[in-house]
A = this chain, B = another copy of it.
């Protein structure tokens, strides 16, 4: 879900920016939003805290900038040849990403947790997920070009239906089996998309 370790070319300002935003995500993933402070980001990044305050303002702005930078990674959705298997791979990637013990997994989980504690973090998460759903639309657009699903299928709705049961198990029902859930959710979403259930706006909207 997050990849903010790409270094930008450029001078000291660019290096400082990269160091500060990386430190922000590392602190978030390590200790969580409640303990995220400019002081800790300064200590970890080696950039003076006055510089951080001047440039970003505070913790919420740092977090928004770090997630926005993560938006600019090169992630693309799976391309396996069929809608169902693309959606399945996507759901399995979500499950594996959050379950991993590495920094990416803990940052991703901490970001969802932070959204409960801060409206600014919630807005940053919303923007991040919106961009991810936008990129995932390609999976459904390819299926439309292959004639798997009817024209006018709401791509984001198909993707939401495929990944939501994975997130539900991870963070709401707190059950095992999130990775396994991806297979069934993908099949249900793909079949519904083929049947035209995701054409146009949702019912009742």
Name A's B-contacting residues (CB within 8 A). Answer: 32, 34, 109-110, 112-113, 115-117, 122-123, 125-126, 129-130, 133, 157, 160-161, 163-165, 167-169, 171-175, 177, 180-181, 183-185, 187-189, 191-192, 195, 197-198, 202-205
Contacts and interface: CB of A to CB of B under 8 A. Distances in A.
A110 B205 CA distance: 28
Contacts of A181: 160, 202
A113 B113 CA distance: 6
The 4 closest A-B pairs by CB, nearest first: A113-B116, A164-B168, A164-B164, A126-B174
A177 B168 CA distance: 17
When all copies of this chain in the complex are counted, the total is 2
A166 to B, nearest CB: 8
B125 A174 contact: yes
A119 to B, nearest CB: 10
Contacts of A117: 32, 34, 113
Contacts of A160: 165, 168-169, 173, 181
A204 B188 contact: no
B173 A126 contact: yes
A69 B18 CA distance: 48
Given A184-B203, A191-B197, A163 B174 contact: no
A171 B203 contact: no
A125, A130, A172, A195: most-surrounded residue (chain B CB, <10 A): A172
A173 B116 contact: no
A188 to B, nearest CB: 4
Contact of A165 (B130, B133, B164): B164
Given A161-B165, A167-B167, A174 B204 contact: no
Nearest to A172: B167
